[in-house]
Each structure stands twice: as C-alpha cells, then as structure tokens.
Structure 1
C-alpha cells in the first residue's frame, strides 16, 4: 500500500498515532514529525538526525517501519 498510495498510508499512520487524517497535508515535514512521535510512543532510541536521513533517502521504507513499530506496540 505504501508504494502505490503513499498519501493514504501516511494518513493511516497519522490516525494510528492520534493525529488527524489531514495532518500529513497540513504540517511541513509531516513524516519527520510522525517518526519522532512513533519513537516517543514506543520509547525507541534514535536521533532526529537519523530520522531526517531515513526519511530523506527512503520515505516509503520509513512509513513501513513506523507501521510495523506501531503494530508491535499494539496500536
């Protein structure tokens, strides 16, 4: 789903973390904000620099990773 319709996947991710459906369209660098939020929810170690690099080089991979993390957390 992420490869063919990344917008829908990002919106679904936003809803799962408690943000609105429109958050990815209204917030600049929404993927970065979502990644930081997911790391905070799951107490996942990492840095903002690593988050920026992952999102810059492979955004769809980052979305898939966040979806898996939320699934593992039970969210």
Structure 2
C-alpha cells in the first residue's frame, strides 16, 4: 500500500475484502486484534480491555477519533460512535488498514 495524504478514510467500514486475513482475525478474535492494532498505533497493548466494561466501547471510539485527528480525516463523532458500537471488528479493521496505508 502506498502512503497518501487525504482527508478521507482510505477504505470504507465494510471493505473487508481489501485485507481478508486481517479481517478474519478481527472477526474471530477481536480482543487480540484490537490489542495488536492498539500496540501498532503506539498505545498500551492492554488498553482495549477497557472496551469490555461499557455499552459504547471507549477505546475503539477514542482510537477512531485519535486516528482521524492524527491523519486529518474528516468524519463525525456520531459515525465513530456508531461504528465502534455496532460493528467493532469492522471498525478495528478499518483503522488497521488506514495505519498500513499511511505507513504508521
């Protein structure tokens, strides 16, 4: 993947076909995948464990917001909340693809 600067996500929330093995890992073992993605982002490996204690996964949502801010991606907190809550594995996959795309 090539590094690009843009204010849009590099892939859609349901673009699992762009990296099928990674998305299978996310769907079958989301806590492990979330920990790996968080570590790659430069945060604690154990941070995603906090997602187990709330209705809205706080780490997933805060990572989406942080990633958007880091890369200047225009989106909304509402969509971050929606994706973090309704499809956590898809959200983690999208963030992972974005980090790979931007070479982080």
CA–CA distance in 1 between the matches of 2:29 and 2:81? 21
Moved over 6 A (4+): none
1:51 maps to 2:80:
yes
Which aligned pairs between 1:10-49 and structure 2 lie closer than 5 A?
Answer: 10-26=34-50, 29-49=58-78
Q: Residue 73 of structure 1 aligns with which residue?
A: 102
Structure 2, unmatched stretches of 5+, are 1-24
Aligned residues: 75
Structure 1, unmatched stretches of 5+, are none
CA–CA distance in 1 between the matches of 2:71 and 2:101? 9
**Larger RCO, structure (CA 8 Å, separation 6 or more):** 2
* TM-score computed with the length of structure 1 as normaliser: 0.89
* TM-score computed with the length of structure 2 as normaliser: 0.66
Across the aligned residues of Structure 1 and Structure 2, the Cα RMSD in angstroms comes to: 1.4
